[in-house]
Amino acid sequence: MSFRESFVEADGFHIRYMEAGDGPVLVHLHGAGGMRLHRGHDLLALKHRVIIMEMPGFGSSAENTRSASTRDLAETMAAAIRALGIGSYDLMGTSYGGKVVLWLAALHPDRVRALVLEAPAAIRPLDARPSTGTPEERARRIYAHPERMPPPPPVDDVVQARQLALVMRSIGPARDAELEERMRGMETPVLVLFGTMDRIIPSEMGRHYKALLPHCHLIFVYDAGHAPGAERPEAFSEAVTDYLARQEAFVVTRRGTMIFP
């Protein structure tokens, strides 16, 4: 699938995004390492109009000193999606982006049809830290089997330092009481996916989302680390596509189902 690069102006930012596919709109917000396209996106774009947005301060964008929190970024990204003329949409967030999309859904529940959280960082162990170091060191932390993945792209030290500063300033506490209170009242259907071999945020964190979110399904993706969409794209995209198509009829029942694709 060929993703096309475009830009949109919103909230005073020049925001880059990549787009491919047709069908219901699925907007994806990336993790702390920035935008990374992978085969999972290609598979999702077979049935969706997939829009992968680069949050201000990441990648080639200008330094972002304005956004003080993930809530601030959520408002900015909501404005960017509105600027694209999109009324309602499904929303997916990876790791750090998982906290941003939770805030976006909490603040704009009328816009978000369903939410997908991939290894979300909204609830973390107290000692959890973003993955840093050389590309090879990062890959060893992110993936269960880095030897099976394509060689990591080179990292610009200036960009990496700028992104890390933004993440550390904005991500907030390991347990965000205000966000968790909003999660308890969230009517949006939510799918949470964790890799069973996640070395950054343990998959056990998934049970907190089940306890807090009224309409939540939890999936553990077998033999995957912190990026199951990249590492096991077929299993990941099949689960996400099925969930977005059927929501309440997903898997078998609405009970607290946990499966291991």
Give the pLDDT confidence score for residue 129 in this predicted structure. 74
Instruction: Give kind and range of the element (H or E) at residue 105.
Output: helix 96-107
pLDDT band at 257 (very low <50, low <70, confident <90, very high): very low
The continuous run of DSSP H or E covering 177 comes out as: helix 177-184
- List the structure tokens of 20: 């491919």
Main-chain phi, psi angles of 104, to 5 degrees: -60, -45
Look up the pTM and report it: 0.93
In 3-state terms the chain splits into helix, strand, coil percentages (rounded to 5) of 35, 20, 40
Confidence of residue 206 (pLDDT cuts 50, 70, 90): very high
C-beta of residue 241 within 8 angstroms of C-beta of residue 47: yes
User: Residues with Cβ < 8 Å from 30, sequence gap 6 or more?
Assistant: 36, 52, 53, 54, 55, 58, 94, 96, 97
Task: Give yes or no for a contact between 70 and 106, defined as CB atoms under 8 angstroms apart.
Answer: no
Q: Report how many helices (DSSP H) and strands (DSSP E) the chain contains, helices first.
A: 9, 9
Mean pLDDT of the chain: 92
pLDDT grade, residue 46 (50/70/90)?
Answer: very high
Residue 183 to residue 139: CA distance in whole angstroms: 31
Alpha-carbon distance of 52 to 177, in angstroms, equals: 29
Q: Which domains does the chain have, with CATH numbers?
A: 4-259 (3.40.50.1820)
Residue 259 predicted with pLDDT over 60: no
What's the pLDDT band for 251 if we cut at 50, 70, 90?
Answer: low
How far does the chain reach from its first CA to its final CA, in angstroms?
24
What pLDDT shows up at residue 252?
42
8 within 8 A of 15, measured Cβ to Cβ = yes
Residue in 256, 259, 230, 257 with CA at minimum distance from that of residue 43: 230
Tell me if residue 100 falls in helix, strand or coil. helix
Task: List, in sequence order, every residue forming a beta bridge with 7; answer none if it has no partner.
Answer: 16
The band of 250, judged by pLDDT with boundaries at 50, 70 and 90, is: low
